[in-house]
Amino acid sequence: MIRNYFLGLILIISLNACDKTSDNPRPNLDPIFKGFVEGKSIGGYDYKHHIKNGGESPKVGARVAFHQDIAIGDSIIFTTRKGGRVKEALMPAYKHLPRPLPPDYVALRVMSAGDSLTIFQPLSDVPTGSLPAWGKQEDIVEYRIKLESVAQPEDIEDEVNAIKAMQGKKEELVKKYAGDYAAGKLKDQLVKTNSGLNYVVLKEGTGAKPKVGEYVKVHYSGVLAKELIPFDNTYVDGRTYGFPYGQGRVIKGWDEGIGYLKEGAQVVLFVPYTLAYGASGRKPNIPEKADLVFYVELVKVESK
């Protein structure tokens, strides 16, 4: 799929740990904790609040915006703070998440807007063959999270439902263009590129074009070009998908195609398999040598 999910939807780093907490010593904990923690979460993770406001925690379906550092001791593995961009997501139900439960998701469920918290995941519980390249079994991963805002599902229900209602229309639109493309009906509408990526502009944007490294937010709906089978879209859960443009975080056809657009543009991208998932595809939804067709709306370009 195009999207990186939050450990299910917005997972930054996936660690295949067990649902138990290690009893091993933790010499690399931040000195502020002095070896002590506040409690143990669902999934068995130790955690501690730095700031606790006592407000309402996000419910399933809430939209959350948060900053997150992922660290081992003094080494930062990932941070959202570079460039000042918060991470956004809709909170999924437990049943839609992998097991063990993702540490950052678990943390958000015990926080409220304005809270700051660290939750710990010991790599001693991770099989040696599954360890990330940057970690050792004696390490403890710290997810340091600041929850900036919470919009509960009842507050965003109308907005989310309006987006979800567009799913069928966008799927039909992209199927129509895929069929017309295959039949050679698009003619002068089609913009062809040297790479093999082609596209049709449905609406010109009026904002800025993204620069490499700038964060962009899009809505999209994708189908298999040959079979006209939908395989992924942002409308199903009512939120945009965001990523840093031009840094290889999405398929090559997207990094190229979005670079032609201004904020607000709506296009259909015809992506050959060489600019998508290659000869091997991506199981279970993308077969081998699958050409793809996407409707894409460039919703936002966040300038540096």
Shared domain for 292 and 240, answered yes or no, is: yes
E strands in the chain: 39-40, 46-51, 63-72, 75-79, 87-90, 116-122, 140-151, 190-192, 198-203, 215-224, 230-233, 241-244, 266-271, 292-302
pLDDT at 30 over 70: no
Question: Would you state the pLDDT for residue 37?
Answer: 66
Shared domain for 180 and 292, answered yes or no, is: yes
Tokens representing 277 are: 């998932």
Shared domain for 89 and 114, answered yes or no, is: yes
Shared domain for 169 and 271, answered yes or no, is: yes
Q: Which residue has the tokens 């809270």?
A: 115
Using one digit for the tens of pLDDT, what is the confidence trace for 139-180? 888 999 999 999 999 999 999 899 999 999 999 999 999 999
**Average pLDDT of every residue of the chain:** 84
Cα–Cα distance, 23 to 166 (Å, whole number): 50
CB neighbour class for 203 (10 Å; exposed up to 12, middle 13-18, buried from 19)? exposed
- Which pLDDT band, with edges at 50, 70 and 90, does 92 fall under? confident
The count of domains in the chain is 2
Shared domain for 215 and 138, answered yes or no, is: no
Question: Would you state the pLDDT for residue 41?
Answer: 77
pLDDT at 286 over 90: yes
pLDDT at 104 over 60: yes
Question: Would you state the pLDDT for residue 27?
Answer: 36
Question: Would you state the pLDDT for residue 191?
Answer: 97
- Which pLDDT band, with edges at 50, 70 and 90, does 4 fall under? very low
Cβ neighbours of 27 (radius 10 Å): 9
Question: Would you state the pLDDT for residue 36?
Answer: 54
Shared domain for 138 and 180, answered yes or no, is: no
Shared domain for 131 and 206, answered yes or no, is: no
Contact yes or no for 21/86 (Cβ under 8 A): no
Cα–Cα distance, 235 to 220 (Å, whole number): 8
Name the domain boundary from 126, 155, 184.
155
Shared domain for 172 and 290, answered yes or no, is: yes
Name the domain boundary from 155, 174, 198.
155
Contact yes or no for 24/124 (Cβ under 8 A): yes
- Whole-model pTM: value is 0.67
Shared domain for 282 and 232, answered yes or no, is: yes
- Which pLDDT band, with edges at 50, 70 and 90, does 130 fall under? low
If you average pLDDT over residues 221-245, what whole number do you get?
92
Domain of residue 95 covers 31-155
Name the domain boundary from 155, 190, 218.
155
Angle at 245 between CA 2 and CA 208, to 5 degrees: 125
Using one digit for the tens of pLDDT, what is the confidence trace for 60-85? 989 999 999 989 888 888 888 876 67
Shared domain for 89 and 172, answered yes or no, is: no
How many angstroms separate the most distant Cα atoms in the chain? Answer: 69
Would residue 18 count as lying in a domain?
A: no
Shared domain for 212 and 290, answered yes or no, is: yes
**CATH number of the domain that 177 lies in?**
3.10.50.40
Shared domain for 298 and 249, answered yes or no, is: yes
